[in-house]
Every structure is written in C-alpha cells, then in structure tokens.
Amino acid sequence: MDRKVTWNTKMPKRSKAGLSEGMIAILLVIVGLVIAIFVFVFATGFLGSAAVSPKAAIQQFDITVSPGGDRAVVTLVIKNTGNVRIIEATPTLVGVSGVTLDPEGGTTADPGRTLVFSGIAAPSPFEIGKQYIIRVTIEYANGATEVLTAQATAHP
C-alpha cells in the first residue's frame, strides 16, 4: 500500500497573536499627537514659565526707636522664595530721608536664602506709633524684576 502524501499548499493562514497593523498605526498617530502637543506647549512658554519662578517675600520689617527719639534701628529681612537667584535688592524707605539700609552679607541670595539689611539713624526721623513704608526692588538672574512693599509701625 503505497500511500501518497500530498501537502496542501493553500493552507489557511494562522492568526497572529498581538496587534494588527491598523492598531499599530493608530497608536503611532496618538503618540505623535502627544509629542506635538507637548512641544507646542513648551515652545509657547506655558511649561517653561511654570518651571522658572522668581519670587521673594519680606519676612521682617522693623523700626525700633530709642526713648527720647535720639536713635532708631531699622531691620529688613527678605527671603528668596522662588527658584531663581536674586542678584540685587535695593530697599528704599518711602517719605523718610537720612536712613541708609546696608546689606549684611551682600545683596545676592540663592533660592531659599535670606537677605538682611539694617540701618541706624541718629537722630531718628521716625515717630513712635507712626507707620512707615519700605519699597524693595529686586532683580533676578533671569532678568525679571519685582517690587515688594511692607509697612511697619515705629515702636520703642
């Protein structure tokens, strides 16, 4: 008995496990759109501006006048609360002359650090119980400028 073995050359194709070509194309389009949106948002500065935050805060502004008003001590503390280095801080007392606030340790501050200014005025131009305003202009390493103001009441 001779059996003749014949092979069927037209066998049905087996289904492939995994993703079809259509699904791969759809996934590539979605990934491409996500990348394009991210590049657009970053290029327009939305994410870029969120990453850079020049910010500072006046933590203390104090005016202490000696009894008799012959001398006054002014203290100012500024904290860099952002993530950009402060390269210059210039305090100015509004409506008061004869008082110079000098920096203790420089006028630059890295993020998280503080700047301290103090000054002594003799004779004192301050009256106990009266409020005074200070204006501080801050310049940051990225070119931004910020103006802070604070108010203090002169006390003994």
State the Cα–Cα distance between residues 38 and 46, nearest whole angstrom.
10
State the Cα–Cα distance between residues 71 and 89, nearest whole angstrom.
25
Q: Of 156, 153, 78, give the one whose Cα is nearest residue 113.
A: 78
The yes or no reply on domain 54-153 and CATH 2.60.40.1230 is: yes
State the Cα–Cα distance between residues 76 and 140, nearest whole angstrom.
19
State the Cα–Cα distance between residues 74 and 138, nearest whole angstrom.
19
pTM higher than 0.85 for the full model?
A: no
Q: Do 56 and 140 form a contact (C-beta atoms < 8 A)?
A: no
pLDDT one-digit tens code per residue, 94-147: 999 889 999 998 989 999 999 999 999 999 999 999 999 999 999 999 999 999
